[in-house]
Amino acid sequence: MNSERKIIIAIDGYSSSGKSTMARQLASAIGYRYIDSGAMYRAVTLWAMRHGYMSQGSSPDVDAIVAALPEIKIDFKVEGPRQLTMLDGEIVENEIRSLEVSNCVSPIAAIPQVRHALVRMQQAMGESKGIVMDGRDIGTVVFPDAEMKVFCDASAERRAERRFKELTDKGASVTYEEVLDNVRTRDHIDETRSEGPLRCADDAVRLDNSAMTIDEQNQWLLDLYRSCVAAVK
Ligand code: DC
C-alpha cells in the first residue's frame, strides 16, 4: 500500500456497539495497525485493582494511581490476527475483559491524568498513520484531524445481548440483567464525564448497526474507507 495515502481511522461509539470487531476486521483487510484504546483503560484498571487502589463499589485512590502512571507499562503483542494486551510484560487479554474490570473501568477512565497519559500514548501510535483506533474520544480528542471517523450506535439491550453472549461463551457466570446494568452505567459515566466525554464528532459518519450483519458492516466500512482515501489523494 502506498504510504502517502495512509490515513488515520477513528471509530468511536458506545460500549459493546461492535466497534472493536469492525475496527479489527477493517485494519486486517487494509493492512493497517489496529489499536483498541479501551484495552488501555482496562489495563490501567486491572493494575489499580491488583494494587488495591480500586475495587467494585468503591471509589478509586486517584492520588496513588496518578503517582504510579509513569511506571505502568502498557503494550500490545501481535499474535497472528490477534492483538494481545500486555501489562508490565504480562499478557492480560482475558483478565481485562472480566465483568469485574468492566465494572471498575469507567471511574478510572474518568480521571483526567489517566486520560492525558493514555491519549499521549495513542497519539504517538498514530504518528506514521496507517492505523485504525477504536474508543470513545478518538475522533474528538485523540485524532481530531483523522481522515475517516465513524460513530457506532445500537440500543443498550442489543449491546448487552452481544456482551452477555461474549462473556458466557468464555464461561463467565453472569446474568443478562447484570450485563445490561453494566452497559447502562458505563454509557452514563462515559457520556457525562468532564474530560473526553463520549460524543459523536461533528464530522463523523454515524452507523447504527443494530440490524446489520457483520458482512454488511464490513462492506459499508470498506466503501467509506475507499472514499476517504480518494478524498485525500
Ligand atoms: O471499549 P471498552 O468497553 O473496552 O472500553 C472500556 C472503558 O474504557 C469504557 O467504559 C470507557 C473507557 N474508554 C474511554 O474512556 N476512552 C476510550 N478511548 C476508550 C475506552
d(CA 206, CA 22): 14
What distance, in Å, lies between the first and last C-alpha atoms of the chain? 13
* Helical packing angle, 99-109 and 176-192, nearest 10°: 10
In whole angstroms, what is the distance from residue 175 CA to residue 180 CA? 9
Question: Nearest C-alpha to atom 6 of ligand 1 is from which residue?
Answer: 38
Q: Single out the residue of 132, 118, 139 nearest to residue 70, CA to CA.
A: 118
Q: What is the pLDDT of residues 203-225, one digit of tens each?
A: 999 998 888 888 998 999 999 99
Residue located via cell numbers 486491572: 46
pTM above 0.75, yes or no: yes
**Residue 4 above 80 pLDDT?**
no
Distance 103 CA to ligand 1 centre (A): 12
109 lines ligand 1 (CB under 6 A): yes
